[in-house]
A and B are shown apart, each in its own frame.
Chain A
Amino acid sequence: MLLEVEDLHVSVERKELLKGVDLKVDRGEVFAVMGHNASGKTTLALTLAGFPQYTVTRGKITFDGKDITNKTIDERARAGMALAFQSPPAIRGIRLGDIISLAGGVNPWTPRPGDDMDLPKKMLERVNLEHSLYTNRELNVGFSGGERKRSELAQIFAMRPRLMILDEPDSGVDIDSLKVVGNSLREYISSYDCTVIIITHHRHILQYLKPTRVHIMSNGRIMITGGYDELMPKIEAMGYEQLIKEAVANG
């Protein structure tokens, strides 16, 4: 088991946003987390990544056999957990290429012998961003929706993570970027045998990733779990609300 979440309760400013989430993710699995807005999907992602404003009031997160419930963001990242942000901040004065290097454990200002100085180039190429144009760009400054998502992937690919948490990697991107995001994710996952939790609203991105399981969240809980081929047509036909009502009615 790579990740185990037990009875996770999370509050932000005393408001309970996750109300007991259980999750078990095996190595190599691709998990989709779906659900309407404010159902707790992003809260789950940011809690897993260790964001301090999300207070765990109950429950436990175990990653690779270790209890990481109280670990900091950077400790979790170095342990092999990488989060692609839904809306990453734009930061002036910091170059995308430098952050890709740092994510890959290379200090671009004081490289050591044997450091891969081509890491930014290789990672940007993976997401079809021309490195000569993007390495020196300020981090996410003036990036389009698609550019941001691709920049996120280039950064987390550099981390060589064992678990990728992708928070809506397909929102606000055009069809061309969606293709790039989908293909590059598929390639990466198959090359590195990476485990994935993907949060999304749409079927399109999932067609590239072929999730092993789909979870539907509502009101801070996982309400429905099922296979992709079984659940997806139902979601499309009935919508989340109806599906959840039916599931509740069926116990």
Chain B
Amino acid sequence: MQESRFAAEATNLVKTFDGKRAVDGVSLAVPEGSIFGFLGPNGAGKTTTLRMMLGIIDPDEGSRSLLGHDRPLEAAHDVGYLPEERGLYPAMTAREAIAFMGALRGLPLDAGRTRATQLLEENGLGDWTMKPIRSLSKGMAQTVQLLGTIVHNPKLIILDEPFSGLDAINQGKLEGLIRAQAAAGTTVIFSTHVIAHAERLCEQVAIIAKGKLAFSGGVAAARERLNPIVRLKTRATDGPWRSALPAAATRDGEEWHFELPDSGPEPLLKALIEGDAGIETLSIERPGLHDAFVAIAGEAAAAEMEEGK
């Protein structure tokens, strides 16, 4: 075991299925205590990367470590995992299902039962404690599995598409739960193809498309890859001020849109004023993560993300 300030690291991971490279040289470093979003359209290689990092499958090439262990299963007691395809034994009660998942990761069964009862109460499922999973709604079962993921108080939680299949209310609850875990010092990695979740929750993101890592770093750094967007409305329709606008500027009704030139806002403002533009409104906005995703992963990947919602 090595000392590391990263909860999870991957170096040049490669995985090929039936001759097709599903993951192609992905490297990641997830800082301890962070909420890390793994973004990409369906089939981009997110789940395969996570399964390799968890040790469910071995990579064809490359290495990975979880909580300083080069063999991920050695860290299993401190890791929680919610797979994309949810799976519970239908005949088990909610309490037993959670305690069983805890027991798999080293939590004694009795302690697991006590904690399961407490977690179910806290999450509004107290009446369902002794009910079999098959009698629960899909959303409830999903919550039970999520509680099973955290029952043993892991240091690292990996959630694969945790928001899929949840309604808006439950998505909000899940966001709250992720924030609470992070506030308690737990590192959370989650994959998603919905950028809004990552934008709201994450400090760090990785963007993957067609098996290759397109970006990994802070959300702010991703957004800073694009220049701010200027929105301008003027009284004058034409005049010398037009030469201050970049060639790529577009007009939407009475409003001009363009990227803030590298020279910054002051020379732009000066040129507009001296050119008699008659500024009615002017705003400079930092681009969102979606724009950053489009710029980094390309329009096609962004379109696939939209389709996958």
Are A and B co-members of a single complex? Answer: no
A residues sitting closer than 8 Å to B (CB atoms) are: none
